[in-house]
Amino acid sequence: MSELFKTVKSSQITISQLMLPSHTNFSGKIHGGYLLSLLDQIAFACASKFSGHYCVTASVDTVDFLNPIEVGELVTLKASVNYVGRSSMIIGIRVEAENIQTGKVKHCNSSYFTMVAKDDNGTNTEVPGLILSNEEEVRRFCNCIKMISLKKDRNQHEESFDYKSESALEQLKTYRIKLNAF
């Protein structure tokens, strides 16, 4: 069987939505949870379009809230596949909000979701390889390799870190905490 490859461009999805008062939090800004729902939707659409399969969210790797979004702004989410594994994909998402009266656009959020393709039985299934067509796509792919490595290091550290050891307890005393006897 010949291996299938697809371009990053073939994965790109853009959605726009007007922000309504019903989307706000108690401070009158667009609620982060609402934005997370939109992020998950576009990550699903992007991964499913690229892979040709139903996809599930394996992890939300990064969600950086950079600027608040106001009621009445037009929010545009742009997603693309930045990395592929065997059955997984890392989807990069950029969120911009436009004041539709002034035309001013601001970058509000950058996010990375790991999505996994599933077959009709719910088993992980192989995704196409990724064709990188320019330096920006290569940069994004390499950044994902770094993210994966950092995630693995963090997971190994959590498994092996002995938080009960004398040296760990001494190190904790350098932080602004109180340790009650336990």
pLDDT at 165: 83
- CA distances to 2, 67, 138 from 95, in Å: 36, 10, 21
Asked: is 5-132 a CATH 3.10.129.10 domain? The reply is yes
Q: In this predicted structure, what is the pLDDT of residue 182?
A: 60
- For 107, 129, 151, 154, 182, the CA distances from 159, given in Å and listed in that order, are 36, 32, 13, 9, 21
Which tokens belong to 44?
Answer: 């699903």
**Per-residue pLDDT, 92:** 98
- The answer to whether 128 touches 6, Cβ cutoff 8 Å, is yes
Which structure tokens are listed for 65?
């809230």
How do the domains of the chain map onto residue ranges? 5-132
Q: Are 56 and 8 in contact (CB under 8 A)?
A: no
For position 181, what pLDDT does the model report? 64
Query: Residue 1's pLDDT is what?
Result: 37
Tens-binned pLDDT, residue by residue, of the chain (182 aa): 347 999 999 999 999 999 999 999 999 999 999 999 999 999 999 999 999 999 999 999 999 999 999 999 999 999 999 999 999 999 999 999 999 999 999 999 999 999 999 999 999 999 999 999 999 999 999 999 999 999 888 777 666 667 778 888 788 778 877 777 66
